[in-house]
Amino acid sequence: MSGRDLSAENRSRVAALYTDYIRGDMPAVMAALDKNVVWTSDGDGCAPWAGRWLGKAGVAGYFAALATSCEVLTYDIERILADGEWVTLLATIRVRYVGDGLERQYAKVDIMRLVNGRVVEFREFYDTASMVCDLERASAAR
């Protein structure tokens, strides 16, 4: 046995990934992804960024779609839980909607699977019902 603790390694990798994201270092974020990453955002059809995005180009599309509607202002990590390849992150995010400038806060859960140190699967979950109401309000204000 090598003594390798995959859970600890992946917890550390995810913590570094979110540090890069919070700093706005998108090249570092993209470098942490597998070329065939499957990226899923809850609420398919509810928001421009929601749905399934494939590969690094797909993830770039996700972030571009997100930016058309809102800006992530803060991303506060509550806890990072890891079990081998799987890592779950509990967080609170604060966003500002483009249409009306209103700021909202949401609880969020991200679940990732890492293989050989790269994110191969990403799933995010948040209060889509509140987000849809906020998007509709912001859209009406444009």
The reply to whether 128 falls in a domain is yes
The reply to whether 107 falls in a domain is yes
User: What confidence score (pLDDT) does residue 2 get?
Assistant: 54
Q: What does the radius of gyration of the chain's CA atoms come to, in whole angstroms? A: 16
- Give the confidence band of 131 by pLDDT, cuts at 50, 70, 90: confident
pLDDT tens, residue by residue, 57-94: 999 999 999 999 999 999 999 999 999 999 999 999 99
The reply to whether 38 falls in a domain is yes
Please report, for the domain that includes residue 19, its CATH number.
3.10.450.50
* Of 107, 98, 109, 106, residue with least CA distance to 135: 98
Positions of E strands within the chain: 33-41, 51-54, 70-83, 86-97, 103-115, 118-126
Domain count, the chain: 1
- The domain of 108 spans 6-141
The reply to whether 1 falls in a domain is no
Predicted TM-score (pTM) of the model is: 0.90
The reply to whether 72 falls in a domain is yes
pLDDT tens, residue by residue, 20-66: 999 999 999 999 999 999 999 998 778 899 999 999 999 999 999 99
Q: What SS3 class is residue 48?
A: coil
Going across the sheet that includes 86-97, the strands are 51-54, 33-41, 118-126, 103-115, 86-97, 70-83
Rounded-to-integer distance, Cα 24 and Cα 21, Å: 5
Q: Averaged over 115-135, what is the pLDDT?
A: 91
